[in-house]
């Protein structure tokens, strides 16, 4: 008997949209296709599936304004799409392109974003490169400096942990003006996927369904997006939204982990009864449900806050990411234990979600990063109140 969860946060129209997406991914991205792409493609992405998702479902531009060729929906609709994508581990660059690049570009470019967003809405995958060798996800840690004057410059250096770089036709790179530090002097620069001196290398990653890439620049031509050296607020705003959307994708994976564990507990018999009837297994399944429901609430709260223009949206996002990261790992671990020894074998899918959980926990900052951010926010509030 399939697990059924009440939906308290989706309207009838959004439920229908979710169900349509679920049918799409079940038909076109079953786990067998995910494994095929993982083992044969080498990039972690299916170009055929991405074309289908972009052209038939409009997912590439779902949250991009209609004036820029998108669907004109909000982050909530994109979050629903990412949740279903995460539930199926769909091998497409939906998060990197629509959830990361489009959000950063829209905030940095502002009124001039249309020309940059239109290709993304049409399905030309893009990504953002900002993390460097130290693994710090804070853009203020950027050391890569631009070389040249005016809007056309060159870049020389490396970026690491870049998502979907193997599928990206355009890379938006965070770099800084020479001699600047922290947020001062940060800019966003456009590098075409076939630019001279650009090399992308797939790196070994714990998440075999979504590899990360190292991007190397050697005198690579780039174009400034917006005023040079003044992009820090837009970059941070875009990354905040991307973090909330990543939480939505994680929530989808957590739902699949819960469903799989409960289904197995009901189907697997021991001593002539389903193992789900034993108290110890019941407790594990109950813990999974508690973790999931808390995560779903936190994730949805962050996304809705951005859609509604809530000034506390970035703080709610930090709350969500600091909760979902450890919760996803716990759930994937417990699900594997419920499935016994076979849950950790290559043939079973539990380990794929465990790997995704570990990687997602780190992307855009782990729980320590976001708890530190929350602590700083509280300290500022206290200091302001005393003042």
Q: What's the CATH number where 25 sits?
A: 1.10.540.10
pTM (2 decimals)? 0.95
Give percent of the chain with pLDDT exceeding 70.
98
Q: How much is the average pLDDT of 276-287?
A: 85
Mean pLDDT, residues 222-232 taken together: 93
Residue 325's pLDDT is 97
Q: Is residue 184 part of a domain?
A: yes
| CATH code where residue 331 lies | 1.20.140.10
Distance CA 314, CA 247 (A): 13
Is 387 inside any structural domain?
no
Q: Which of 128, 112, 340, 56 is nearest to 225 (CA)?
A: 112
Choosing from 92, 121, 150, the residue where a domain stops is 121
Segment 217-223 shows an average pLDDT of 97
Listing DSSP states for 271-304 in one string gives TTEEGGGSHHHHHHHHHHHHHHHHHHHHHHHHHH
Please enumerate in sequence order all residues whose Cβ is within 8 A of that of 224, keeping only pairs 6 or more positions apart, or say none.
146, 151, 152, 153, 187, 188, 189, 190
Segment 145-197, tens digit of pLDDT:
999 988 889 999 999 999 999 999 999 999 999 999 999 999 999 999 999 99
d(CA 239, CA 236): 5
214 and 241 part of one domain: no
Q: How far apart are CA 358 and CA 219, in angstroms?
A: 35
Same domain, yes or no, for 241 and 307?
yes
**Listed range (153-162, 169-178, 278-287, 330-339) with the worst mean pLDDT:** 278-287
- In this predicted structure, the answer to whether residue 1 has a pLDDT above a threshold of 80 is no
- Note down the domain range covering 109: 12-121
Is 4 contained in some domain? Answer: no
pLDDT reading at 275 higher than 90:
no
Mean pLDDT over all residues of the chain? Answer: 93
Measured between its terminal Cα atoms, the distance across the chain in Å is: 59
Q: Is the dihedral of CA 41, 45, 46, 47 positive or negative?
A: negative
- Which residue has better confidence, 245 or 337? 245
The CA distance from 71 to 253, in Å, is 25
- Write out pLDDT tens, residues 9-55: 788 899 999 999 999 999 999 999 999 999 887 788 999 999 999 99
Q: If you search the block for the tokens 């995704």, which residue do you land on?
A: 356
User: For the chain, how many structural domains are there in total?
Assistant: 3
- Paired tokens of 366: 């782990």
**Is residue 316 included in any domain, yes or no?**
yes
- What pLDDT score was predicted for residue 2? 62
Q: Where are the alpha helices (DSSP H) in the chain?
A: 12-28, 31-36, 47-55, 75-88, 94, 102-109, 114-121, 232-267, 279-307, 313-338, 350-362, 367-386
Structural domain contains residue 3? no
Q: What are phi and psi of 304, to 5 degrees?
A: -65, -35
Torsion of CA 53, 59, 57, 51, to 10 degrees: -30
Lowest mean pLDDT among 36-40, 293-297, 354-358, 381-385: 381-385
Backbone angles phi, psi at 19, to 5 degrees: -65, -35
pLDDT band for position 137 (50/70/90)? very high
Q: Looking at the structure, do residues 371 and 253 belong to the same domain, yes or no? A: yes
What pLDDT is recorded for position 179?
94
Residue 131 and residue 56 share a domain: no
Same domain, 152 and 89: no
Q: Are residues 71 and 17 in the same domain?
A: yes
* Confidence (pLDDT) at 243: 98
Domain termination site, one of 200, 232, 264: 232
For 53-84, how does the pLDDT look when each residue is reduced to its tens digit (9 = 90+)? 999 999 999 999 999 999 999 999 999 999 99
3-state secondary structure of 61: helix
Lowest mean pLDDT among 202-206, 288-292, 317-321: 202-206
60 within some domain: yes
Q: What is the pLDDT of residue 387?
A: 40
CATH number, residue 165: 2.40.110.10
- How does 331-365 read in b/e, with b if 16+ C-beta sit within 10 Å? bbbbbbebbeeebeeeebbbbbbbbbbbbbbbbbb
Burial class (CB in 10 A: 0-12, 13-18, 19+), 8: exposed
143 and 213 co-located in one domain: yes
Residue 1 lies in a domain: no
Same domain, 220 and 238: no
Pairwise CA distance, residues 12 & 93, whole Å: 28
* Residue found by looking up tokens 């990206």 in the block: 168
Asked whether residue 248 falls in the same domain as residue 329, the answer is yes
pLDDT surpasses 60 at 347: yes
Smallest CA-to-CA distance from 174 within 95, 104, 102 is with: 104
Residue 378, Cα to own-chain centre: how many angstroms?
Answer: 26
Is 337 found in the same domain as 215? Answer: no
Of 153, 155, 136, the C-alpha closest to 145 is 155
Domain boundary among 165, 200, 232: 232
Q: Is residue 367 part of a domain?
A: yes
Averaged pLDDT, 314-343:
92
The pLDDT score that the predictor gives to residue 187 is 96
Burial class (CB in 10 A: 0-12, 13-18, 19+), 384: exposed
Instruction: Assess whether 240 and 336 both reside in one domain.
Output: yes
Residue 5 has pLDDT above 80, yes or no: no
Q: Which residues contact 41 (CB under 8 A, 6 or more apart)?
A: 91
pLDDT reported for residue 385: 55
Residue 204's pLDDT band (boundaries 50, 70, 90)?
Answer: confident
Calculate the dihedral angle through the C-alpha atoms of 287, 292, 295, 297, rounding to the nearest 10 degrees.
Answer: -110
pLDDT surpasses 80 at 276: no
Q: Are residues 155 and 59 in the same domain?
A: no
């Amino acid at each position: 008997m399939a697990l059924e969860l009440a939906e308290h946060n989706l309207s009838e129209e959004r439920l229908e949209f979710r169900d349509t997406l679920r049918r799409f991914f079940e038909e076109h991205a079953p786990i067998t296709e995910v494994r095929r792409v993982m083992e044969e493609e080498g990039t972690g992405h299916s170009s055929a599936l991405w074309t289908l998702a972009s052209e038939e479902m409009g997912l590439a531009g779902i949250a991009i304004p209609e004036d820029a060729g998108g669907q004109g929906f909000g982050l909530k609709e994109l979050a629903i799409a990412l949740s279903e994508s995460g539930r199926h581990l769909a091998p497409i660059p939906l998060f990197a392109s629509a959830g990361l690049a489009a959000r950063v570009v829209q905030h940095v470019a502002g009124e001039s974003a249309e020309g940059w967003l239109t290709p993304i809405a049409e399905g030309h995958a893009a990504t953002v490169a900002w993390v460097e060798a130290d693994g710090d996800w804070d853009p203020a840690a950027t050391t890569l400096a631009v070389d040249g004057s005016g809007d056309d410059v060159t870049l020389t250096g490396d970026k690491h942990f870049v998502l979907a770089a193997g599928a990206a036709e355009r890379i938006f790179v965070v770099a800084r003006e020479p001699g600047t530090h922290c947020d001062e002097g940060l800019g966003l620069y456009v590098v075409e996927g076939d630019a001279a001196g650009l090399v992308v290398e797939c790196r070994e990653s714990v998440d075999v369904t979504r590899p990360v890439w190292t991007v190397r620049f050697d005198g690579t031509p780039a174009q400034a997006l917006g005023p040079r050296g003044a992009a820090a607020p837009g970059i941070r705003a875009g990354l905040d939204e991307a973090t909330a959307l990543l939480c939505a994708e994680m929530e989808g994976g957590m739902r699949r982990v819960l469903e799989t564990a409960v289904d197995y507990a009901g189907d697997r018999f021991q001593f002539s009864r389903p193992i789900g009837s034993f108290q110890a297994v019941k407790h594990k399944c109950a813990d999974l449900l508690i973790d999931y429901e808390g995560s779903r609430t936190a994730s949805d709260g962050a996304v809705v806050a951005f859609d509604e223009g809530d000034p506390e949206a970035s703080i709610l996002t930090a709350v969500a990411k600091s909760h979902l990261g450890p919760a996803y790992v716990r759930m994937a671990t417990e699900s594997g234990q419920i499935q016994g020894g076979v849950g950790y074998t290559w043939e079973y899918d539990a380990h794929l979600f465990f790997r995704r959980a570990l990687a997602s926990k780190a992307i855009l900052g782990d729980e320590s990063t976001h708890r530190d951010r929350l602590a700083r926010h509280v300290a500022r509030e206290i200091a302001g109140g005393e003042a």
